């Protein structure tokens, strides 16, 4: 009877040790701040989303582009301000021909959403303010995907 208690105690301790080690690995993968980490590679910045999975796109004169590193099954939220523009077009592209990536939805300044879309989106911007593009895999049409992708945003009056 005493052997059962010993084996049970050893099993519980092993599970606890494994759980603690796994949590430490996950915490090490994330940047320490809530802001996106941007690294320059090949003279083009690559954004690595922080814990919030949010990346701001700098749109100037109606144009903006950014490369982003995405983990498999991660939602990446790309944020931009409409700046009095009335129409938006955006495109996702990756050097990986098997990239399963799309605009899952758009979140408008008033909180309303629309989607899903494909790798391109064309939309009237009905209000000024902050728009969010949710980028994620198409769970109905492929496997989870992670890697680098580029987003190009064009705004027009």
Structural domain boundaries of the chain? 1-30, 37-156
Q: Residue 139 has what pLDDT?
A: 86
Residues 94-111 pLDDT 10s: 988 889 999 999 999 999
Q: Does domain 37-156 have CATH number 2.60.120.380?
A: yes
With a CB cutoff of 8 Å and minimum separation 6, the contacts of 4 are none
Give the largest Cα separation in the chain, rounded: 79
Each residue's pLDDT tens digit, 54-107: 899 999 999 999 999 999 999 999 999 999 999 999 999 998 888 999 999 999
Q: pLDDT grade, residue 142 (50/70/90)?
A: confident
Ranked by mean pLDDT, which of 4-8, 27-31, 72-76 comes out on top?
72-76
Identify the DSSP state of 77.
Answer: E
């Amino acid at each position: 009877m005493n052997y059962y208690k010993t084996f049970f105690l050893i099993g519980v301790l092993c599970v606890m040790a494994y759980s603690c080690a796994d949590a430490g690995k996950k915490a090490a993968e994330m940047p320490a701040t809530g802001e996106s980490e941007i690294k320059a590679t090949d003279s083009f910045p690559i954004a690595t989303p922080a814990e919030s999975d949010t990346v701001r796109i700098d749109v100037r004169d109606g144009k903006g582009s950014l490369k982003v590193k995405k983990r498999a099954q991660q939602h990446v939220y790309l944020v931009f301000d409409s700046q009095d523009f009335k129409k938006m077009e955006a495109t996702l592209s990756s050097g990986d021909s098997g990239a399963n990536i799309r605009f899952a939805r758009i979140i408008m300044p008033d909180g309303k959403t629309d989607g899903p879309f494909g790798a391109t989106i064309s939309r009237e911007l009905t209000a000024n303010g902050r728009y969010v593009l949710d980028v994620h895999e198409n769970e109905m049409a492929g496997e989870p995907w992670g890697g680098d992708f580029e987003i190009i945003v064009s705004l027009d009056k």
